[in-house]
Amino acid sequence: MRRTLPTSEEFVKGIRAGDRVVLGKAITLVESARSEHHALAQEVIGHLLARGDRAESLRVAVTGAPGVGKSTLIEALGTHITREGKKVAVLAIDPTSSLSKGSILGDKTRMERLSNNENAFIRPSPSGNSLGGVARKTRETILLVEAAGYDTVIIETVGVGQSEIAAHSMTDVFMLLLLPGAGDELQGIKRGIVEMADILAVNKADGDRTKLAGQARAFYHNATHLLPPKANGWAPRVLTCSAETGTGIDKLWETVLAFETQSRVNGYFYENRKQQAEYWLQEALQAGLQSALFEHAGVRTALAALKPEVLAGRLSPFAAAERVLAVFLKDQNA
Amino acid sequence: MRRTLPTSEEFVKGIRAGDRVVLGKAITLVESARSEHHALAQEVIGHLLARGDRAESLRVAVTGAPGVGKSTLIEALGTHITREGKKVAVLAIDPTSSLSKGSILGDKTRMERLSNNENAFIRPSPSGNSLGGVARKTRETILLVEAAGYDTVIIETVGVGQSEIAAHSMTDVFMLLLLPGAGDELQGIKRGIVEMADILAVNKADGDRTKLAGQARAFYHNATHLLPPKANGWAPRVLTCSAETGTGIDKLWETVLAFETQSRVNGYFYENRKQQAEYWLQEALQAGLQSALFEHAGVRTALAALKPEVLAGRLSPFAAAERVLAVFLKDQNA
């Protein structure tokens, strides 16, 4: 038996009232591939956004290689945040989750304490065939959870690919988790990701590993000082912490808030959000154009005929593109 | 007084005969922003390509930070190549050249010996507002010089930005020049560029710097061994040379040829060219679509109205993109 979906008014009302069931349904709508779900989701988001950007919210990216303890740290951090009277939503971007059956956040038992916290909302990564699709869904889900009153949004990524660039393009502050050691652990992390980080946290600084964590901290402190200064004037900070014992979690969150305060005071926070909105507009235009192009029957026929010529080097890629685009744009020139 | 342009038949005949004046004019046509030049250039390239890809040519990217001695090395390498009975063309990708008035290859006196060599053809970087435009022109110029009989094409880039990715997407082998020292010189080079390199050459290995160059060679040898293996099964080689004294230039070229032989034997050479052609087809489609979109009057009006709403956070970037695309695609759905 099919259940009727709530109307867009019901969605908007429920979300604004902080109803977690309605919020969850709305996210499912955003994640759906069905066009009627898509249209309804856009309508809901349209209503929710009518009041303007949630400039009071804080969006935090947390990344790090597998095994660095991201889930445990997010649980510790999220619990700390809720104790300060905030509401926290934890989302994820993992384009591999459909393959790995949800390698990150797929299993709520990994954040057992936080998932039972009434001021926390945890949602596993949407699945999808492309990073672009997954990232877009997460970006729209941010708008939903913020409208439901979650003023702190944590975006988790796996730290090994392009997902970090996507997370960076939708958050206000970027945190990179590292393991004790000095340099070796960088092998799993692309250099560009270190350069994106506002805050680096050497996790597992407990017991026998405390000394090693301190050395890693010094190593990364030196390494980040070689990087060019950030646009917002912030010098990346390197800390040690232990998500397991809780040591350093308060200090870590204080540092996030120090970054936020500086960014808001010098205006970078708002400028960055505008740039991100523009970036996503361009991305959405490009993605929409591409799918319109490749769904066009005439384009498919033309490409099927021309592509082998291009691959054989008998036709320049540029000439082929012009012919294909002429087919696509023909109607408009009429 | 305006001079009449050669016809496309005259261009094709002149280029195939190796006429340098006609070749130069054809490249100017490719670089021109005027639409009638563009159409003629496409016609010429279309004729020249009809015989299929110049699979016998070899395209070599040479990059490195400013001051590493790229021009001197290319002059030494180019002279060496012509002595082996080959014809060499030297092109460049430098999107900053319109600003810096041709920082690379802009001044032919920097390669005086090679520019007087009748088996060498040197062309400065095309200018342009975007890397995409500059790279596209260079990519088309490769087709022209190959049709004119230049069987070895060297593409020079400045080693500090995105130009290397463009050069990598149109060459068969990628060479990175480095300075003696161990690690410091990497600061000017993005890590991804080291990963693209098939051959690393520590230049200026002469006089007092010979020992330091040897140490740098050992350092990079170790560093590249940490990188994942290349798709073609080639392990990057690190050499020392001195473009100034000529030491190691023959060995450097031998290594390029060893790479070429291995790639041809295992088929990677041809597979890579196909992938590059496909990449450029996608790029050209995307670039063409974007300019059609932003030149559309209705799109401009819609964007002018919607973009401020997106930047203020009152409209989702995705909803705005859908509305803009609806304007653009309206005629097609009719």
Distances B102 to B96, B97, B111, B136 between C-alpha atoms, Å: 8, 4, 14, 18
Higher pLDDT, B327 or B159: B327
CB-based contact (8 Å) between A296 and chain B?
A: yes
* Mean per-residue pLDDT, A199-213: 92
**Which DSSP symbol is given to A120?**
E
Q: Closest chain B residue to A313 measured between Cα atoms?
A: B53
Query: Residue A150: its pLDDT value, please?
Result: 97
Q: How far apart are CA A328 and CA B285, in angstroms?
A: 11
Q: How far apart are the first and last CA of chain A?
A: 49
A9 vs B153: CA distance, rounded Å: 64
Mean pLDDT of A257-277: 95
Say which residue the tokens 């393991």 belong to: A179
Q: Please answer yes or no on whether A290 and B286 come within 8 Å at the CB atom.
A: yes
Query: Domain A1-52 maps to which CATH number in 3.40.190.10, 1.20.5.170, 3.40.50.720, 1.10.10.60?
Result: 1.20.5.170
> What pLDDT, in 10s, does the model give residues A156-171?
987 666 788 899 999 9
pLDDT reported for residue B103: 44
> Which class would CATH give A54-272?
alpha beta
pTM greater than 0.80: no
Q: Are A193 and A159 in contact (CB under 8 A)?
A: yes
Q: What are the tokens at B63? A: 């990059």
Distance CA A328, CA A291 (A): 12
Residue A52 has its nearest CB partner, among B274, B296, B314, at B314
A-chain CB neighbours of B288 within 8 Å are 321-322, 325
pLDDT at B183 over 60: no
Mean per-residue pLDDT for B58-74?
A: 91
Residues near B176 by beta carbon (within 8 Å), at least 6 away in sequence:
B63, B64, B159, B189, B193, B194, B196, B197, B199, B200, B201
CB B298 within 8 A of CB A260: no
- Identify which of A210, A158, A215, A160 has the alpha carbon closest to the alpha carbon of residue A183: A215
Q: Name the minimum distance, in Å, from the CA of A109 to any CA of chain B.
A: 33
pLDDT band at residue A75 under the 50/70/90 scheme? very high
Mean pLDDT of A246-273: 96
A293 touches chain B (CB under 8 A): yes
Tens of pLDDT along B290-311? 989 999 999 999 999 999 999 9
Whether A50 and B286 lie within 8 Å, measured CB to CB: no
CA separation for the pair A171, A168 (Å, rounded): 6
Percentage, residues of chain B above pLDDT 70: 89
Classify each residue of B190-224 as buried b or exposed e, where b means 16 or more C-beta atoms within 10 Å of its C-beta.
Answer: beebbbbbbbbbbbbbbeebeebbeebbebbeebb
Mean of pLDDT over chain A: 87
- Distance (Å) from the C-alpha of residue A278 to the closest C-alpha of chain B? 7
List beta partners, residue A155. Answer: A61, A91
- Which residue spans of chain A are classified as CATH 3.40.50.300? 54-272
Residue A85, both tokens: 């009277």
Give start-end residues of each CATH 1.20.5.170 domain in chain B: 1-52
Average pLDDT, chain B: 87
pLDDT at position B100 over 50: no
